[in-house]
Amino acid sequence: MEANKIYEDLVKNLANSFKSEEIKVRSLENDSLREQLITLVNDLLKLEIDDNSSFNNIKWSHVFGKGLVNLFKQKIKFEKPDNKTLEDILSDLVFYQTFCFNNFNVERDVLNRVEDFDEKLIKELAFIPKEVREQFSNKIEVEPEIVDKEKEKPNTGNEDNFKSAGFNHNNVKPHPFQDQRFYPYNYKPKYMKLIKHILIGFVLTFVISFIVLSLLLNIGSKTIDSVDQFKSWGFKDDFIEKYNKTYTDFKWTLSYSFLITPLLSLAGMFNLVFLILICTSVIYYLVTPPKNYRDQFTFSYIMLIVLVIVVFSTCYNLWNIFKYAFGDASITTASIASVLGVNVMGINNVDDLLKWYNDNKDAINNMNNSLNNELPYGAIKALFWIFFIVSVVIIGFSVFIVVINPKRDKEKVMKAMQEYEKYISSAMQGQSYEMDSSIYEPEEEVNEFIRKRKERIDGKKEKKDKKDNNE
């Protein structure tokens, strides 16, 4: 079901709930009902933000939110649920309808009916006259009979009536979207587990190659311990004078040659820790056994997007090495000019820095040639090629996963919803209805998945208990 259709159904159910005096009165007395109404408004908020849903060109979450605040006479914090899917929201709605029928005998048709309403009407309905409150409060309060617990059972209101009608809330089948047996996608990739393991290998190689490359950029260095070295390269007197005022020696690392943030700096450490945390999260997601039958055949798009963004941003931070590896040797001379121009000469203007570079081009080239002979530029290039190839493979592999990732089977989902609606409608009328079993996966496969998952959990628990006993 599309987001806008679910949004429309939520709006209609909330509007008709505001029109129902009994539901409004009961919501003041029943915590569960009150929480469900708040949940439906939160679901509206999610659909508005994530799917840009609306009904009659109006965003209704603030309308019903204000209505509930006025109705309950208390502050309410409405929040967008981040982890809910459309199926979860639909389940909230179905559960709400079932709850209203089971407890207050309000039928689904009443909650789903189409009637005119607007923001002004909802605002007016968020008020309960005293006589109405007394009427429904008296109606719903059930005095338990005083009985001998050994001989009789007390009167529990309408619950037994519903059970005799064949609609016991505790025995209601779960919605297909909440059933392990329901697989809402168009096919099952056979090798998704292998694909995840391959991706783990690429991500680990990506992280390790980046760490090694970063370490080499900071470890590979030359200490210029005498100003005579700069003189031999041909730097002019004004540079020598300013250098003598600030430095006695200068440790030149490979990170300076490519204008890359040093690993031991605050920014460098932050970038490294951020990269490791993100990649660790991705690997944890990949190695964690699926909790649901359907999860073993699918891949999280959000995780792929995060991974690709991290790979792109990391490669961008190494852009100067990228240019150097592809033959742009001038990047190191430009970096030398930038580092010395800013740190020694105190130049902060781009035009002035370019002029200083042109005036000292020969000296900078001589320094660059000397550093090329003494620092491991070849190792940097080789490591970068490994890093770059792995990065390209990860991005390409992510695109491949997007292509093979199962897509939602709209016809199957629609049929499942229709079957469940028939089941609920029949149950409300005291009739039985067997849902079409073809919407579910073979029970043997699902049970085998559940059995293996239980064995894993029991095995971990047993190991933990043994470890605790040994301690």
Per-residue model confidence as pLDDT tens for the chain (471 residues): 578 889 999 999 999 999 988 888 888 888 889 899 999 999 999 999 988 999 988 999 999 999 898 888 888 888 888 878 888 888 889 889 888 888 888 888 889 888 888 888 888 888 877 666 666 554 444 333 333 434 334 344 444 443 433 444 445 677 787 788 999 999 899 889 999 999 999 999 999 999 999 999 989 889 998 889 999 999 999 999 999 988 888 899 999 999 988 877 888 888 889 999 999 999 999 998 888 898 899 998 999 999 999 999 999 999 999 999 998 888 999 999 999 999 899 988 889 999 999 999 999 999 999 999 999 999 999 999 999 999 999 999 999 999 999 998 988 888 888 888 888 777 766 678 888 989 999 989 889 988 888 888 888 777 777 776 766
User: Is position 103 within any domain?
Assistant: yes
Q: Are residues 106 and 223 in the same domain?
A: no
Single out the residue in 103, 122, 141 at which a domain terminates: 141
Nearest-angstrom CA–CA distance, 159 and 339? 80
Q: Are residues 207 and 75 in the same domain?
A: no
User: Is position 458 within any domain?
Assistant: no
Residues contacting residue 155 through CB under 8 Å, at least 6 positions apart? 142, 144, 145
Single out the residue in 404, 431, 458 at which a domain terminates: 404
User: Is position 78 within any domain?
Assistant: yes
User: Is position 394 within any domain?
Assistant: yes
Q: Are residues 137 and 264 in the same domain?
A: no
**Under DSSP, is residue 422 helix (H, G, I), strand (E, B) or coil?**
helix
**Bridge partners (DSSP) listed for residue 250:** 224
List C-alpha distances in Å: 99 to 27, 76, 92.
Answer: 12, 22, 10
**Tell me, what DSSP letter sits at residue 55?**
B
Q: Are residues 215 and 92 in the same domain?
A: no
pLDDT in tens, 200-242: 999 999 999 999 999 999 898 899 988 899 999 999 999 999 9
Using alpha carbons only, what angle is made at residue 224 by residues 221 and 228, rounded to the nearest 5 degrees? 155
User: Is position 420 within any domain?
Assistant: no
Dmax (CA) for the chain in angstroms is: 110
Does the global pTM surpass 0.75?
Answer: no
Q: Are residues 261 and 124 in the same domain?
A: no
Q: Are residues 399 and 312 in the same domain?
A: yes
User: Is position 326 within any domain?
Assistant: yes
User: Is position 410 within any domain?
Assistant: no
Structure tokens of 361?
A: 């081009």
Nearest-angstrom CA–CA distance, 294 and 297? 6
Q: Report how many domains make up the chain.
A: 2
Single out the residue in 123, 141, 159 at which a domain terminates: 141
Identify the domain containing residue 262 by its residue range.
192-404
Q: Are residues 84 and 201 in the same domain?
A: no
The gap from C-alpha 386 to its chain's centroid, in whole angstroms, comes to: 30
Q: Are residues 217 and 362 in the same domain?
A: yes
**Tell me, what DSSP letter sits at residue 296?**
G
Q: Are residues 9 and 97 in the same domain?
A: yes
Q: Are residues 123 and 267 in the same domain?
A: no
User: Is position 226 within any domain?
Assistant: yes
Nearest-angstrom CA–CA distance, 236 and 230? 9
Using an 8 Å Cβ cutoff, are 261 and 271 in contact?
A: yes
